[in-house]
Amino acid sequence: MTKINPIVIMRSPLARARGLGSARSGRGDWWAERLTSLLLVPLSLYFVLSVFLLEGADQAAMIRYMAEPWNTVLFLALITSLFYHIELGLRAVIEDYTHSEGRRLVTILIMRATVLFFGILAAISVLKLAFS
Amino acid sequence: MKDVREALLNGLNSQGQMVRRPLSPHLQVYRPQMTSVTSILHRFTGIGVSLGAILLSLWLTAAASSARWFAFAQSAAASIPGMIVLFLFTLALFYHFCNGIRHLGWDAGYGFDLPVARRNGAIVIAGSVALTAITWIIGLIIW
């Protein structure tokens, strides 16, 4: 008769309590980074095209451009995916190179607030141009 | 010993002596290779594009604020320092764009063979320089 080995847990209870091992979270972030990068492939080319079209433009031309529904939507899509992707990317860099837990927490909070601020600023500006 | 991580750095070698386990070699002792250089550049250009995104945000804000502010933003962008910043932004954007596509290929399971990864890396560098040059040539012609 074959003897079935009981399951042996090698990890100590202390390691478990301290949360050592895999991160257990981050799958969603990993996916979001890929999905936003896929979106940004066409959207960054659209952005370069827009810069060509808006070279030397005055405010009136800018308002005309952003008031086109396609441009409003594409610019909002660009801003959303760009700033989301930036948040994920910068967070990965901070997590890799900031070893002190307190400093990491503070740096990530400041980074997130900054990214959120400039993202909202860009989105509201596009909306204001589109509806003015 | 401070913590568990610190404790795990101590071990026995093949002679049975207590040793401090070696750390993996880091940047300053590694010969630059196509794979490592393109990886590091991906991070640097990612940070660069993040800074560029702040400029994009300010450019849109200037346009939404007033005609005078937007005229100021446009003239700042067309100045020599402004053009240098925009040139670097273009280069960083296209590098991150090209290498990002290379990364998506890896995520899908393609291009892991070293010769392929090295060739892809060269294509990414050449491609981003070429795209930047094309963009600036078109941009300066229609200006």
For residue A14, the model assigns a pLDDT of 83
Long-range contacts of B79-87 (CB under 8 A, 24+ apart): B85/B55, B87/B132, B87/B136
For residue B22, the model assigns a pLDDT of 78
For residue B31, the model assigns a pLDDT of 81
CA distance A49 to A21: 46
- Taking each continuous run of H as one helix and of E as one strand, the counts in chain A are 5, 0
For residue B1, the model assigns a pLDDT of 66
Local structure of residue A54 (DSSP, 8 states): T
DSSP A62-121: HHHHHHSHHHHHHHHHHHHHHHHHHHHHHHHHHHHH--SHHHHHHHHHHHHHHHHHHHHH
User: Is B43 within 8 Å of A93 when comparing Cβ atoms?
Assistant: yes
Local structure of residue A21 (DSSP, 8 states): S
Q: How far is CA A131 from CA A77, A127, B64, B71, in A?
A: 17, 6, 10, 20
Amino acid at residue number B131: L
- pTM value is 0.85
Cβ-proximal residues to B43 (8 Å cutoff; 6+ apart), any chain: A93
Whole-number average pLDDT of chain A? 92
Of A34, A77, A87, nearest to B50 by C-alpha is A87
Which candidate from A18, A34, A121 shows the least CB-CB separation from B57? A121
Of A53, A19, A44, nearest to B4 by C-alpha is A19
Interface residues of B toward A, Cβ cutoff 8 Å, are 4, 43, 46-47, 49-50, 53-54, 56-58, 60-61, 63-64, 66-67, 70-71, 74, 78, 93, 97, 100-101, 103-104, 107, 135, 138-139, 142-143
**A110-121 residue pLDDT tens:** 999 999 999 999
Which tokens in the block code for residue B109? 């399971």
ipTM of the complex: 0.86
**B67-104 residue pLDDT tens:** 999 999 999 999 999 999 999 999 999 999 999 999 99
**CB distance B74 to A25 below 8 Å:** no
Q: How far is CA A30 from CA A25, A91, A92, A93, A109, in A?
A: 10, 12, 10, 14, 19
Local structure of residue B27 (DSSP, 8 states): G
For residue B11, the model assigns a pLDDT of 84
Q: How many CB atoms lie within 10 A of CB B69?
A: 15
Which candidate from B49, B58, B64 shows the least CB-CB separation from A129? B64
For residue A1, the model assigns a pLDDT of 59
Q: How many CB pairs under 8 A join A and B?
A: 85
**A77-112 residue pLDDT tens:** 999 999 999 999 999 999 999 999 999 999 999 999
Helix axes A59-67, B34-65, angle to 10 degrees: 110
Nearest CA to CA, how far is A86 from chain B (Å)? 6
CA distance B81 to B95: 21
